Amino acid sequence: MMQEIPLTHILFVSTALFFIGMYGLFTRRNLITMLMSIELMLNSVNINFVAFNKYLFPDNLEGLFFTLFIITIAAAEAAVAIAIIINLYRSHHSIDVEDATEMKY
């Protein structure tokens, strides 16, 4: 089982996923889609943690714990971000970042 896939191929996948998330963060101007891009980037990091744990340190479980804590914090972060987005929508009637300019300059 899975003897043929070296660690580097998994790292290629997570690298590509990270930069796809970065592209989304640069091009999107809608707060919800920017949050979605951040979720993709966090997930690519999780893949790395699990892959390194499995391939290099099969005796330990540290990578799995890091993944678990990152997932927990990502959930808390998404909840707070969506509360802020809903509050912003209530005051600006838009969740476009270009429309929230009170603190610009």
Partner 1 sequence: MNISSILFYAISALILGAGVLAVTSVKIFRAAIWLLFSLIGIAALYFWMQVEFIAAIQIVVYVGGIVVLIIFSIFLTQNSGKEMNSPTMGKKIFSAMAALFGIAFVGNLIAQYEGFAYPSAKPFDPNVAEIGTQMLSTTSHGFILPFEVVSMLLLAAMVGCIVIAMRPKNDTENISLNNNETK
Contacts (CB under 8 A) with partner 1, residues 33-62: 33, 35-37, 39-40, 43, 46-47, 50-51, 53-56, 58-61
Which of 45, 64, 99, 103: binder of partner 1 (CB under 8 A)?
64
* Number of residues located near partner 1, criterion CB under 8 A: 73
**Residues with Cβ within 8 Å of residue 53, at least 6 apart in sequence:** 60, 61, 62, 63, 64
Count CB-CB contacts under 10 A for residue 43.
17
Which of 45, 89, 97, 99: binder of partner 1 (CB under 8 A)?
89
CA distances to 63, 77, 90 from 20, rounded to whole Å, are 23, 20, 31
Q: Measured from the CB atom, is 77 or 100 closer to partner 1?
A: 77
